[in-house]
Amino acid sequence: MKKIVTRFPPSPSGYLHVGGARTALFNWLYARRMKGTFVLRIEDTDVRRSTTASVDAIFEALEWLGIDWDEGPFYQSKRFDIYKEYIQKLLDSGHAYYCTCSPEQLEVMRKTAMATDGKVKYDGTCREKGLGKTENAVVRFKAPLTGTTVLHDVIKKNIVFQNSELDDFIIQRSDGTPTYNLAVVVDDITMGINTVIRGDDHVSNTPKQILLYKALGSPVPDFGHVPMVLGKDRSRLSKRHGAMSVTAYRDMGYLPDAVLNYLVRLGWSFGDQEFFTKAELIEKFNLENIGRSAGVFDKDKLLALNADHIKATPPDQLAKHLIPFLKERGVNAEEGEFLESVIKTLNKRSKTLLEMAEGAIFYYVDDFSYEEKAAKLFFKPGVLDMLKLLTEQLEQTEDFSEKNLETVFESFIETTGLKFGKIAQPLRSALTGKTVSPGIFEVLEVLGKDRTISRLNKAVQFIMSK
């Protein structure tokens, strides 16, 4: 069985978006599942649009997602000598020729074809002239005039193209630079790529590339063209649908594994299973289960899946993702037991890491202000004696475990005759400054005895000063 070699060839003219990330993921997962090789190639021949910042952004996004590569990154801009060598091979074998037709001549061809309802394509003026290289000449591929070219697509099945409909397309511009179709084929041949998974917007390029493979005497890779990703209104995905850069989701507090999970489900299925770990995706991903219908991007579903991944991720692993969000909020948290205990109180109620960071601040900051609503509703003079009595009770408590604290409060309720609801909200406001927080006993255990007593005394002083 052949070793699978896939590739991801982004053009560095912007950030890595949702569709591009999904293409990278499908190729990466298939290579990992088949114990093959995943190649990263930067298609930067368009010097005007390609930027170093975009290249760096692509690397950053892939690394955050955990999509690593076995070979590369290769840069097309550094491979021009290789492309020229292969173009010369096509010229020498009679599969390509020089063309000196001017832009004006080409415009006449276009208008003539349109006037006769014919296909707009090059009419073959220079095809049999045997011209040599000149300053303004381009090189065209000599496409077959009859017969068919068949794309054996593992997703779309067989697609048949009539060769009479194809063009003698340009493979080298007049300035000596290769065109996309030529460069891609040469790259895939020289890098040993035998499996190409890409968006179905590339289907129209594929017959040209198949002809180039055959003309160069190279095996044609297995192709799989994946349907596009659409917005919820079924139109092409755009920023208004949430099609931001992959790293924008990182900055909004999404976990990389949640984004991976969601991206792979935009077009691939495994029964009714929705939640996948990265290990499960590598184990189960295949080409057969990629659908033929467009994936629909739904921000709400991504958010829900992110919440599920936050719940499922062990606190010690979640900590490294949460720390940057805490630091942005002035909290210098460190990995360890305390942060993990904080996470355990928040992971079931946080949809994003940003939410979790906001909810965690009170654990680290003792000198916080009380929310106006909390102070108004729960810091009334009538709760003063209750808070003082509760403080005395907790000062005598040595075991601040959640289980023991429940027993302490049961005793306190029995002694005072107060209902827990009357105690819980003033206590929550005293401990956190907020009206909403994790469970009271969870908070007490994490804060510990000394910080709990300190915060209760602070609340008592605040009420007395009103």
pLDDT of 230 > 90? The answer is no
- The pLDDT of residue 243 is 56
128-137 mean pLDDT: 94
Q: Which of 239, 311, 373, 380 is catalytic?
A: 239
Task: Tell whether 359 is covered by a domain.
Answer: no
For 345-369, how does the pLDDT look when each residue is reduced to its tens digit (9 = 90+)? 999 999 999 999 999 999 999 999 9
Q: What percent of the chain has pLDDT over 70?
A: 98
Same domain, 99 and 190: yes
Find, among 228, 227, 224, 229, the residue nearest to 157 by Cα.
Answer: 224
Same domain, 275 and 234: yes
What pLDDT band is residue 202 in, cutting at 50, 70 and 90? very high
317 vs 14, which has greater pLDDT? Answer: 317
Same domain, 85 and 222: yes
CATH number of the domain enclosing 432: 1.10.10.350
- Out of 226, 249, 276, pick the residue that ends a domain: 226
- The pLDDT of residue 295 is 86
Q: Residue with structure tokens 């005007």? A: 48
Instruction: Tokens for 138, please give them.
Output: 């381009």
Q: Enter the pTM of the model.
A: 0.92
For 50-66, how does the pLDDT look when each residue is reduced to its tens digit (9 = 90+)? 889 999 999 999 999 99
Same domain, 86 and 221: yes
> CB of 440 within 8 A of CB of 424?
yes
Task: Tell whether 386 is covered by a domain.
Answer: yes
What pLDDT band is residue 241 in, cutting at 50, 70 and 90? low
Rg (CA), the chain: 32
Same domain, 83 and 64: no
Task: Tell whether 450 is covered by a domain.
Answer: yes
Task: Tell whether 195 is covered by a domain.
Answer: yes
pLDDT of 238 > 80? The answer is no
What pLDDT band is residue 46 in, cutting at 50, 70 and 90? confident
- Out of 307, 342, 377, pick the residue that ends a domain: 307
- Out of 193, 226, 259, pick the residue that ends a domain: 226
Same domain, 162 and 51: no
Strand ordering across the sheet containing 148-153: 157-162, 148-153, 222-226, 195-199
414-437 mean pLDDT: 93
Q: How far apart are CA 219 and CA 201, in angstroms?
A: 23
177-191, 229-243, 301-315, 350-364, range with the lowest pLDDT: 229-243
pLDDT of 196 > 60? The answer is yes
Helix 353-364 / helix 315-328 crossing angle, nearest 10 deg: 80
Q: How far apart are CA 174 and CA 171, in angstroms?
A: 10
Q: How far apart are CA 321 and CA 344, in angstroms?
A: 14
Q: How far apart are CA 118 and CA 12, in angstroms?
A: 36
159: left (phi over 0), alpha (psi -120 to 50) or beta: beta
Length of the chain: 466
Same domain, 277 and 398: no
410-433 mean pLDDT: 93
b/e map 229-245, b = 16+ CB within 10 Å: bbbeeeeebeeebbbeb
- The pLDDT of residue 242 is 60
Task: Tell whether 324 is covered by a domain.
Answer: no
Number of domains the chain is built from = 3
pLDDT of 47 > 80? The answer is no
Q: What percent of the chain has pLDDT over 90?
A: 86
Task: Tell whether 323 is covered by a domain.
Answer: no
Same domain, 253 and 115: no
> CB of 5 within 8 A of CB of 36?
yes
| Residue 403 lies in domain | 367-466
pLDDT of 240 > 80? The answer is no
Strand partners, 244: none
- The pLDDT of residue 49 is 82
Q: How far apart are CA 7 and CA 443, in angstroms?
A: 49
> CB of 273 within 8 A of CB of 255?
no
Active site residue 239: yes
Task: Tell whether 253 is covered by a domain.
Answer: yes
pLDDT of 234 > 80? The answer is no
CATH number of the domain enclosing 20: 3.40.50.620
Same domain, 238 and 213: no
Same domain, 66 and 87: no
For 64-99, how does the pLDDT look when each residue is reduced to its tens digit (9 = 90+)? 999 999 999 999 999 999 999 999 999 999 999 999
Same domain, 20 and 38: yes
- The pLDDT of residue 239 is 61
- The pLDDT of residue 233 is 76
What pLDDT band is residue 119 in, cutting at 50, 70 and 90? confident
Task: Tell whether 346 is covered by a domain.
Answer: no
Average per-residue pLDDT for the chain = 94
For residue 86, CA distances in Å to 24, 170, 185, 431 come to 27, 14, 10, 72
Q: What are phi and psi of 314, to 5 degrees?
A: -55, 140
For 133-189, how does the pLDDT look when each residue is reduced to its tens digit (9 = 90+)? 999 999 999 999 999 999 999 999 999 999 999 999 999 999 999 999 999 999 999
For 11-26, how does the pLDDT look when each residue is reduced to its tens digit (9 = 90+)? 998 899 999 999 999 9
Same domain, 265 and 153: no
